Structure 1
Amino acid sequence: MIAGKRPLLAELAGEQWDLVVVGGGITGAGVLLLAAQLGIKTLLVEKQDFAWGTSSRSSKMVHGGLRYMAQGAVRLTREALQERERLLRELPDLVVRQPYLFPIRKGQFPGRWPMAIVLWLYDRLASIRDHRWMSAAELAERVPALGREQLRGAMRYTDALTDDSRLVLRVLHEAAAEGATMLNYAGVEAVTGPQGEHEVALRDQLTGALHTLHVKHVINATGAWADKLSGSAPRVRPLRGSHLLVPAARLPVADCLTVRHPQDGRPVFVFPWQGLTCIGTTDLDHKEDLDQEPAISQREIDYLLALVNSQFPDVHLGEADIISTMAGVRPVISSGKGLDPSRERRDHAVWQENGIITVSGGKLTTFRVIAIDALLAAGLIDQTAHRRLLASPRLFRQAASVPAGLGHPLKPWPGEEQGAQAALLDWVLTHEMVVHLDDLMLRRTRFGNLLADGGDALLAAHAERICNALGWDEQRWQHELTRYRTILQHSYRTPAAMG
């Protein structure tokens, strides 16, 4: 398990490390796990919290990506589908197969038969058969709120949903059980010296102290932030994707719907997630400071509401219905061609500069493959081991002791019945290196996203429990409350709600 308390950076700096992984999102967590399983003495460091960036703000999907195949990225799609099937087998309580519906209207491209051909190939690449045509009558019964104008029916297929931050935590728990070490709120300021003799200057974000680590290899897995450490010419194009979370009663869906936006034809998802309905995503160049938590813009809110109200014309969803928002910045490898953001490929890339191995791009679904490629580039495995790891039958081999239901993408978070919230908070506070209140409310749990009050009532009820577990006095508690509410208002609420 991850240590309940954060390790002391001064003690870690006194050790010799084979590998330091920079970045605590899904890519860094994957590299850490694979390295630990190979017996490599590895430390992961993260400037913010684990999954703080893209890996807690994605579209929550473990999928092959139909539109990537339409762009000709068949290899990427096949790779992602095979990894999807692996995760469905190994983490059935965290990665859940879910029906996806692609409604087809008269005059819309693609129509029924082109979609049937695409989905035949999609299933074939995944070695399953799980698609069929759904008539307009059956679709209307399944999704009563969907507009029926020119509706022919829908192609039904399956992909998977997850809780992305809980997936990162699950990988980190596995890595810890394999002997790895990890530390949040520790930022790399510089890497000097040649490969094999690196010195890593590491700033403790809590104390401000600077420490030096001696390490043989460094893998920069910081995603959208990769260019800051790589030492090479910029390669990452940060693209923002934003989502709305609304009450399921206002927009009831049992399946994931892929619907086209009336303005630009982009596919947008409307899907159930942890008791609410999620709508997303957008795809825009992110021009703001990457070190500031991203926030949805009014333009994106209007765009997503326009999508919903065109496809569900009797719902009349408005800004007042929005419980929370999520905005994440995707690390997309730039083509350098000035393409529309949605046309940039989602492949990952691995490169080396001054002995630092950088990996960025790719998909949540393919984190294992990305990690294996990074280890190969670092010289920590050879081509034979690379092929063996890609063909390995199992990634997760440690018994999971995570509470049942934690992170299930379709189950609502617990209410106060029978002390369920208390039990969940106790476990997380004991086992998951919580440093700040936003770690607890936005990543270890999703109470900040899922509760209309942002969890204010929950925090009031459990303040003593949280303070006792983390050793906080009243002054620290008030400081953390202010910090959490500021983050919540800036990055997880609409601009109108920010006041």
Structure 2
Amino acid sequence: MKREQALDGLRAAGMAQPFDVLVIGGGIAGAGVALEAARAGARVALVEARDFASGTSSRSSKLVHGGLRYLAQGQFGLTRQSLRERNALLRDAAGLVAPLRFLLPVREGDKNGRALLGLGLLAYDVLARSRSRVWLGLEALLQRSPWLGRSGLRGGWSYLDAQTDDARLVLRALAEARSHGALTLNHLAVESLSRGEQGQVSGALLRDAISGERLAVAARCVINATGAWADGLRQQQGLSPRLRPLRGSHLLLPAWALPVSEAVAFAHPDDGRPVFALPWLGATLVGTTDLDHRESLDREPGISRAEFDYLLRALQHQFPSLDLGEQQVLSTWSGVRPVLASGQDLAPSEETREHFIAEEAGLITVTGGKLTTFRASALQALRLASRRVPALAMLTALDGPSTAPVFAAATLATRRRLLQDRRLGAALAQRWLDLYGEQALALQALVDERGAAELQPLGPPAPSRPVWGELRHACRSEAVEHLDDLLLRRSRLGLLMPEGAAELLPRLRLLCAEELHWSDSRWALEAQRYQDCIRRCYGVPPEDRT
């Protein structure tokens, strides 16, 4: 559905009956709520002030996991729920969510030695209801990760978790929600909440960031799924803040600079915090930090020089022979986690990652959780909403986890049609099925229309690489309004290629003129805006950035 059609849907709703559910926030939490509500038969609209997944949901560590360190903090319920949801995503979003094996090197004198880590992994396996832990002796470990420093190395544990492309996970959930009739609009901000009887929230006044138009939308239930920004809407209700925004920053290096075929997790030499290096989309992702984010949430976050040096120092200590330095860093990013504040004097890493779900003056807020548990938190929020939305009544009978598939699988006919298309090859056909599901047929139709040039691969070599046609498809069908929407979230090429994929800009100029009807002046503005964004928030920070 095109943007103007979706806006027409909102306008028409304003003159007819209210929506059942208005979701505010287009990250993974909001996308999950919209999907489950629409699948249950509710009339749903979702609005996002910026771009879909532009907050924390495109800036995470890309892990779909139970959280081994949460288990160490005694959060057994959260770990059990996360492992259950991880397994469901591995089953129902195979390819988009992929298994990832972790290595935990053990060195002489480590605080967490072989026995203690083994005990934790035993509990992890019990909660996951499957065994994945394996002890590797020194030589076996070095065969798996030959670049590890040998000093004091005794061997290591191996266990299984999973990873994803977080932004594409959000986009897939939104696409599924639309297939069930939901309206989803980005760059549409809430100016104020509306109140009905007894002061209960009954809708919102929205402002279109593209045209400046204001729209009043009524809804039986309004759900605040704005992540780290959730307290902003809550404070409109006169409620006290509940969140402690914490920043997590990351580095991305070329695979040739830091070659890892599995994730390697280890303690930082300075403070013992866990750090990891893992393969992601043909590059190597390194993370993460965990510190209070004291800047305005209205300003796009970027890595500080102290965080950058902290992560680089961890790599240099763990992989001393690789001579890693800032000149090898492709990109960086920072995300602000919506962590529930305990009110205690805890270090950032000690705060719980449990989600916060509450109804306050008619506004339901869902925030504070993990990428992995988005469906579980969505269902819990919608059970609260069911008191006002009859279409959601069926969810109240669902006391435990959902047994429905997270995403609908592509039909057998669609799978056969793509996998038998010799132009695509098996790897690309499977990539499209994994990322787009039934909508993969639209990309095949695009190749029929435009020819083999749409199959040109982009980005670093990887088992599954994006192709040019995916960018064209995004421009046509995935609500691209700005260049960063296209290069940082519809694709991840702005992270994976040097200088934010600057080498693609001349050809992208033609694509955006064809598909988005951008004039030369519009392109100049977009290119400058994008390059400024890359420099401020995704590049190597200058020495003086605090």
Report whether the alignment pairs 1:475 with 2:473.
no
Partner of 1:112: 114
Instruction: Tell me the equivalent position of 1:185.
Output: 187
1:225 equivalent to 2:221? Answer no
Aligned match of 2:352 in 345, 348, 352? 345
Distance change (3 Å), C-alpha of 1:292 and 1:386: farther
How do 1:371-382 and structure 2 match up within 5 A? 371-378=378-385, 379=387, 380=389, 381=392
**Which residue is equivalent to 1:130?**
132
Decide whether the 8 Å contact of 2:96 with 2:165 is kept in 1.
yes
For 2:515 and 2:500, locate their aligned partners in 1 and report how far apart those are by CA, in whole Å.
Answer: 21
Q: Hey, what's the Cα distance between the residues in 1 that align with 2:129 and 2:460?
A: 43
Q: 1:472 corresponds to which letter in structure 2? A: W
| Residue equivalent to 1:397 | 408
1:429 aligns with 2:436: no
Q: Where does residue 67 of structure 2 map in the other structure?
A: 65
Matched letter for residue 118 of structure 1: G
Identity of aligned residues (%): 45
Task: Return the alpha-carbon distance in structure 1 between the equivalents of residues 226 and 5 of structure 2.
Answer: 21
Looking at structure 2, the residues matched to 488 and 383 of structure 1 have their Cα atoms a distance apart, in angstroms, of 46
Equivalent position to 1:451, from 476, 497, 502: 497
Cα deviation for residue 497 of structure 1 reads 9.5
CA distance in 1, matches of 2:64, 2:310: 24
Number of aligned residue pairs: give it.
494
How high is the TM-score relative to the length of structure 2? 0.86
| Deviation at residue 124 of structure 1 after TM alignment | 1.5
- Aligned partner of 1:264 in structure 2 is 271
1:245/1:322 contact within 8 Å kept: yes
1:199 equivalent in alignment to 2:178: no
Normalized against structure 1, the TM-score is what?
A: 0.94
Could you tell me how far 1:197 is from its partner in structure 2? 6.9
Match for residue 12 of structure 2 among 4, 11, 14 = 14
The aligned runs of 1:42-441 (5 Å cut-off) are 42-194=44-196, 198-230=202-234, 231=237, 232-378=239-385, 379=387, 380=389, 381=392, 385=396, 387=398, 390-397=401-408, 399=410, 404-405=430-431, 414=458, 421-441=467-487
Question: Offset of 1:454 from its aligned partner?
Answer: 1.4
CA distance in 2, matches of 1:183, 1:215: 16
Q: Give the superposition deviation at 1:4.
A: 4.6
- Give the conservation status (yes or no) of the 8 Å contact 2:382–2:395: no
Q: Which residue type is aligned with residue 275 of structure 2?
A: V
> Are the counterparts in 2 of residues 6 and 183 from structure 1 also a CA contact under 8 Å?
no
Give SS of 1:471's match. coil
CA distance in 2, matches of 1:32, 1:261: 39
Opposite residue 80 of structure 1, the aligned amino acid is S
d(CA) in 2 for partners of 1:17 and 1:498? 49
Deviates more, 1:314-323 or 1:331-340: 314-323
Are the structure 2 counterparts of residues 384 and 396 from structure 1 closer, same or farther at C-alpha, using a change threshold of 3 Å? Answer: closer
Confirm or deny: 8 A CA contact 2:142 2:148 kept in the other structure: yes
Q: Corresponding residue for 1:461?
A: 507
- How much has 1:422 moved relative to structure 2? 2.5
In structure 2, distance between residues paired with 1:29 and 1:58: 16
Q: Measured at CA, do residues 443 and 487 of structure 1 come closer, stay the same or move farther in structure 2, by a change above 3 Å?
A: same
Q: Is the 8 A contact 1:295 1:491 kept in 2?
A: yes
Higher relative contact order (CA 8 A, sep 6+): 1
Contact 2:90 2:97 in 1 (8 A): yes
Deviation at 1:384, TM superposition (A): 6.3
Structure with the larger helix share: 2
Match of 1:41 in 2: 43
Which residue of the partner structure matches residue 23 of structure 1? 25
What SS does the corresponding residue of 2:30 show, helix, strand or coil?
Answer: helix
Displacement after TM superposition at 1:382 (Å) = 5.4
Q: Is the 8 A contact 2:460 2:496 kept in 1?
A: no
Distance between the aligned counterparts of 2:466 and 2:216, measured in 1? 43
Which consecutive unaligned segments of at least 5 residues does structure 2 have?
415-427, 436-455
Q: Residues of 2 paired with 1:415 and 1:350: CA distance?
A: 39
Distance 1:479 1:226 in 2: 31
Q: Once structures 1 and 2 are overlaid, which stretch shifts more, 208-217 or 442-451? A: 208-217
1:488 maps to which residue? 534
Question: CA shift at 1:388, angstroms?
Answer: 5.5
Aligned to 2:419: none
Q: Distance in 1 between matches of 2:178 and 2:395?
A: 26
Name the amino acid aligned to 2:480: V
1:377–1:420 Cα change, 3 Å: closer
Contact kept, 8 Å, 2:275 with 2:287, in 1: the verdict is yes
Distance 1:249 1:54, change over 3 A: same
Does the residue aligned with 2:542 lie in a helix, a strand or coil?
Answer: helix
Equivalent position SS for 1:208: coil
Is the contact between residue 373 and residue 386 of structure 1 (CA under 8 Å) also seen in structure 2? no
Q: Which moved more, 1:397-406 or 1:212-221?
A: 397-406
User: Cα RMSD (Å) of the superposition?
Assistant: 2.4
Task: Give CA-to-partner distance per residue, 1:409-461, whole Å, 9 cap, x none.
Answer: 9xx973599x9732221222222111111000000001100001311221212
Q: Is the 8 A contact 2:483 2:527 kept in 1?
A: yes
Change (3 A) 1:384 1:166: closer
**What SS does the corresponding residue of 2:364 show, helix, strand or coil?**
strand
* Whole-Å separation in 1 of the counterparts to 2:271 and 2:2: 47
* Conservation of the 8 A alpha-carbon contact between 1:26 and 1:55: yes
